[in-house]
Amino acid sequence: MREKIIIIGGSAGSFQIVTTILSKLPKDFKYPILLALHRLKHVRHGFVEALSLKSGLPVVEPLDKENIRPGKVYLAPANYHMYVELTKTFALSTEEPVNHSRPGIDLTFITGAYVYKEKVVGIILSGANKDGAYGLKKVKDFGGITIVQDPKECQITTMPVAAMEATPVDHVMSTEQIIQYLNSL
Amino acid sequence: MINNIDEINIGVTDIRRIAELLKSNYNLEINNYALTSMKRRLKKCISINELGNFENLMKKLESPEFFTKFMNDTSIEVTEMFRDPAFWRELKTQIIPDLLKKFNTINVWIPDFSSADEIYSLAILALEDGYHSKINIHATAVHQSLIRPSEIGLYQMKKLEVSEANYKRFNDKGDYNQYYTLEKFGFKMNSNLLSEVKFSTFDIVKDEMPCNYHLIIARNQLLYFNSNMHDNCVTLFSKALVKDGYLAIGTQETIEFCRDSKKFTLINPMEKIYKKNFI
């Protein structure tokens, strides 16, 4: 089995998409999925539960230094940045917001790309700011696959459009196509 | 801003080189910090000081004056006063009252106090509940250059909104305005809040074991250490606390993989508050 890691970034309008994607992945999905989603700072509980409802895969908010394991979905905890560490563990941080966000999408993508290189499948979904555009570019720079949700389908197009402006992405896909793609890996 | 920082290259050999320089010139040990966040802090320092690249940072570090700036530019900001208001309410309603039942004065250790957010949060809490004089706060930093009396409690304006919002969630009947004065470019916390606070240096690698603390507030500190140092810190904390003393760490941190994890009982899983067991 070739190692891969799926990193998904999103903001406003992405929650439905993520739950749909998670509901259509098999229980034995072979790769870890990292979710770097903008979220309300003070809502520390409920988001993971909501995502878990229809997900075939377990969804957790990783603790600092937790191992990255295949077949698990990791949601960046509220008010923390979620880095990928060289030891293939999570490193959390309370450093200043990036692109006004903590968790910052760019940071998960950048560190994920640095560690996993061509094994990364980076996906940017609907969102209202440019967080993640630079991060997706880094995925491309390190040889990974880059996907954006088709702006025509997005509730808010700013995020995927910014990503496409930052780098020539490999695929512009609808939610259905993203699901098919992930299932084909 | 992120583009500038990320484009700066720092490799593993670079980290080794700067670690050697800091050790030999300034007796500072940085080998046990978590790698990714350490790199980001170095890159941030290079960017803030417009040094352009890592080599220039190495050159600049030969000057002791710059070293002080370096220490401050790379220090971690806890970033928010009353971060996780629910934690501070738990401290206020459960932990501190419990300690006051058993002890006349409470010794609190706040290691690596950085931006002093936790110090002020605790001081305000103590003041509001009338036991300001019963709490001794010992705030330590790893190096003397991080203790700057003239700058403590002086914050940029952008921090005020977050601090106030958190405070409101902690105490919706309180008035945060009474705790600071507006300055030219920011705000300054009242100096009386620090009346029970002592500052000193403490380096886990070199210094002697502290002890007799009733409460250690080390929230979101372990994040920045590697596993080895994380483990050593927990051992240190277990020795520094009296029986039935409390340890508070960050909500997404854990001590479960540490050699001395059994010395603690997790009494509040949401807010990650531990009680030290007997032994």
pLDDT in tens, A84-139: 999 999 999 999 899 899 999 999 999 999 999 999 999 999 999 999 999 999 99
pLDDT in tens, B223-269: 999 999 999 999 999 999 999 999 999 999 999 999 999 999 999 99
State yes or no: pLDDT of B59 exceeds 80: yes
Helix (H, G, I), strand (E, B) or coil at B130: coil
Q: Which residue has the higher pLDDT, B56 or B6?
A: B56
**Measured between beta carbons, which residues in chain B are less than 8 angstroms from residue A65?**
227, 230, 254, 257
A1 band by pLDDT with thresholds 50, 70 and 90: low
Q: How many other CB atoms are found less than 10 A from the CB of residue B203?
A: 13
Which residues of A are identified as catalytic?
11, 38, 131
Written as six digits, the tokens of B255 are: 């001590």
| pLDDT above 70: percentage of residues in chain B | 97
Q: How many CB pairs under 8 A join A and B?
A: 73
Task: Quote the ipTM score.
Answer: 0.94
C-alpha span between B27 and B13 (Å, rounded): 19
Phi, psi of A49 (to 5 degrees): -65, -45
From the list B232, B235, B179, B227, the residue with the least C-alpha distance to B205 is B232
Please check whether residue B115 touches A, CB under 8 A: no
pLDDT in tens, B224-235: 999 999 999 999
Q: Which of A61, A94, A98 sits opposite B220 (nearest CB)?
A: A94
Query: CA quadruple A40, B119, B202, B45: dihedral positive or negative?
Result: positive
How far is CA B259 from its chain centroid? Answer: 23
**Measured between beta carbons, which residues in chain A are less than 8 angstroms from residue B250?**
64, 92, 94
Query: DSSP letter at B41?
Result: H
**Measured between beta carbons, which residues in chain A are less than 8 angstroms from residue B252?**
61-64, 77, 80, 92
Instruction: Provide the pLDDT for residue B211.
Output: 85
> Which residues touch A41 (CB under 8 Å, ≥6 apart)?
A78, A79, A102
State yes or no: pLDDT of B106 exceeds 80: yes
- A139 Cα to chain B: minimum distance (Å): 13
CB-based contact B252 A42, cutoff 8 Å: no
Q: Which of B12, B36, B90 to mutate to test the interface with A (most CBs of A within 10 A)?
A: B36
- The mean pLDDT value of chain B amounts to 92
C-alpha span between B62 and B25 (Å, rounded): 8
Cα–Cα distance list, B174 to A35, A90, B89, B116, B167 (Å):
37, 38, 13, 21, 8
CB-based contact B76 A134, cutoff 8 Å: no
- B78 Cα to chain A: minimum distance (Å): 6
CB B97 within 8 A of CB B63: no
B3 band by pLDDT with thresholds 50, 70 and 90: low
Please check whether residue B39 touches A, CB under 8 A: no
Please check whether residue B40 touches A, CB under 8 A: yes
Written as six digits, the tokens of A60 are: 């957790």
Please tell me which residue of chain A has the smallest CA distance to B76. Answer: A95
The distance in angstroms from the start CA to the end CA of chain B is 49
Q: How many other CB atoms are found less than 10 A from the CB of residue B148?
A: 14
Instruction: Provide the pLDDT for residue B2.
Output: 60
Chain A residues whose C-beta sits inside 8 Å of any chain B C-beta: 42, 44-45, 61-65, 77, 79-80, 83-86, 91-96, 98-99, 104, 106, 110-111, 134, 138
Instruction: Provide the pLDDT for residue B209.
Output: 75
Q: What is the mean pLDDT of residues A44-54?
A: 93
Instruction: Provide the pLDDT for residue B1.
Output: 53
CB A55 within 8 A of CB A91: no
pLDDT in tens, A15-26: 999 999 999 999
Q: How many other CB atoms are found less than 10 A from the CB of residue B255?
A: 24
